[in-house]
Amino acid sequence: MGNETSLPMELCSNFDADEIRRLGKRFRKLDLDNSGALSIDEFMSLPELQQNPLVQRVIDIFDEDGNGEVDFKEFIQGVSQFSVKGDKESKLRFAFRIYDMDNDGYISNGELFQVLKMMVGNNLKDAQLQQIVDKTILFADKDEDGKINFDEFCSAVRSYPEVPAGHGTALTVWK
């Protein structure tokens, strides 16, 4: 990654040139087929991601062009959101996007159910999970339109100070 590649990435991320170079090495190591992009299988080659039920959602969000793979620019922009230098607003926006599966700007009852189901698997019966989802919507949906917009999401997450802002699993504490 030369300066001509890393300079624009510095402008669209929370990383400096040295961090981008290090991430470039990591990216190339993960890019097992040398295609210049990471597939779900290549991401899953990381042991720390193999048990994470939200990996596919994270990849979907990183994959800005929707081609099913994450290129280096998408990788840098995506990982940048997790940087300690990143602002809370970006972290909250990322967490919101985990739940907003159809990217319409709202978290619906069905979307919240689907994402929480990914997290809890079969540890809860669907009826129990639906109760949690319904209570969450009632708690967070201040304008009573049956769905959660970004501002409502932020207010709900911030009302739980023991949960760090930006952690997508924050909604699971609403029981």
Provide the residue type at 8 as one letter: P
In this prediction, residue 163 has a pLDDT band, given cuts at 50, 70 and 90, of very low
Domain 88-173 adopts which CATH fold? Recoverin; domain 1 (1.10.238)
Query: What average pLDDT does the structure give for the chain?
Result: 86
- Residues 26-47: tens digit of each pLDDT: 999 999 999 999 999 999 998 8
* Predicted confidence (pLDDT) at residue 8 exceeds the cutoff of 70: no
**Residue ranges, CATH 1.10.238.10, the chain:** 3-80, 88-173
In this prediction, residue 161 has a pLDDT band, given cuts at 50, 70 and 90, of low
- Residues 103-113: tens digit of each pLDDT: 999 999 999 99
CA distance 27 to 76: 9
Q: Is the pTM of the predicted complex or chain greater than 0.85?
A: no
Lookup: tokens for 77: 């922009």
Q: Which CATH architecture has domain 3-80?
A: Orthogonal Bundle (1.10)
pLDDT score for 51: 86
pLDDT score for 12: 63
pLDDT score for 10: 53
What percent of the chain is predicted at pLDDT more than 70? 85
CA distances to 42, 92, 138 from 70, in Å? 10, 21, 36
Query: Using alpha carbons only, how large is the chain's radius of gyration in Å?
Result: 18
Q: How many CB atoms lie within 10 A of CB 132?
A: 19
pLDDT score for 49: 85
The helix (H) or strand (E) run that includes residue 106 is strand 106-107
CA distance 48 to 46: 5
CA distance 73 to 49: 20
The answer to whether residues 94 and 169 touch, using CB atoms and an 8 Å cutoff, is: no
CA distance 86 to 6: 18
**Total H helices, total E strands in the chain:** 10, 4
pLDDT score for 6: 45
